[in-house]
Amino acid sequence: MPYRRFNKATARFFSELYTDIVRRRPKSESEWVYNDILLFALTLGVKKFELERDWLEDVLSIRLERSQEESRSVAQTYMDLIKDNFENTSNHQPLMIVMKNSLDLAIGNTESLNSTYQSLTQREFPYSKVAFLNLICLKAFDIIVLSKGLIDIQRQKAIEKFVVKFNKRITQIAIALWWLLLLLTVAASASFLIYYLRLSPIEAERITRILTLLPFLGFGGLTIPVVVYRNR
């Protein structure tokens, strides 16, 4: 049914734009005939709002005659969509999945989805030299994963909530340990200072020589006050 996800004002707006566009006479040398983003929008609009499709079919026929490989597959997908030929294996499967999903149509059977999923996971990114098709492939992958139930939304939210709590607890424990270590360090330093001040001059001199080595080990902040105080 038309207007399923769009209101009548949106449908009217697209219809007016489409009426202006169909005044163009498609030619094989026209650059817009090979503009995938434009054809993507026009194909979805014509299909969704059940508009006259003869002009669009003429445009796609020119594209099919003049294109090869990937570009031809894309054009074939647009043509198949407006003709309800959803199971044609020669079309661009990720593009067909994205377009059917946009139209609230069944995106395909398990076998075809698995085939497209494996194709996307086994190929290296970028999948295409065309940026638009790379985005389409990524969107198709997302649609397939969600449709196959590989991501449980409620479970994902529970995991995210647990991660937040876990990180919060780790932070609290780390802060507590830091303060405990600081208190132990202060207590140990105070105990050492009391012990050091009670030493005889000869014993203190030996300890002082040892303390002079500690700054080279990164503990100068603890030993300098002690040495300074003893030499007053």
- 56: which residues sit within 8 A by CB, 6+ positions away? 42, 43, 46, 78, 82
pLDDT of residue 163: 66
Gyration radius of the chain over CA positions: 36
Q: What residue has token string 């030299």? A: 129
pLDDT of residue 228: 46
CB atoms within 10 A of CB 142: 13
pLDDT of residue 117: 87
The tens place of each residue's pLDDT in the chain, 232 residues long, gives 443 455 678 888 889 889 989 998 989 888 899 999 999 999 999 999 999 999 999 999 999 998 888 999 999 999 999 998 887 878 899 999 999 999 989 888 888 888 898 888 888 888 898 899 999 999 999 899 888 765 455 555 665 676 677 677 778 878 888 888 888 877 777 776 676 677 677 766 666 666 565 554 444 544 444 444 445 5
Distance CA 49, CA 196 (A): 90
pLDDT of residue 168: 78
Distance CA 55, CA 49 (A): 15
pLDDT of residue 217: 46
Distance CA 92, CA 137 (A): 10
Q: What is the biggest distance separating any 2 CA atoms in the chain, rounded to whole angstroms?
A: 107
Distance CA 231, CA 23 (A): 98
Instruction: Select from 176, 171, 229, 172 the least CA-distant residue to 204.
Output: 229
Burial class (CB in 10 A: 0-12, 13-18, 19+), 154: exposed
Per the CB < 8 A criterion, the answer to whether 48 and 63 are in contact is: no
pLDDT of residue 140: 93
pLDDT of residue 89: 79
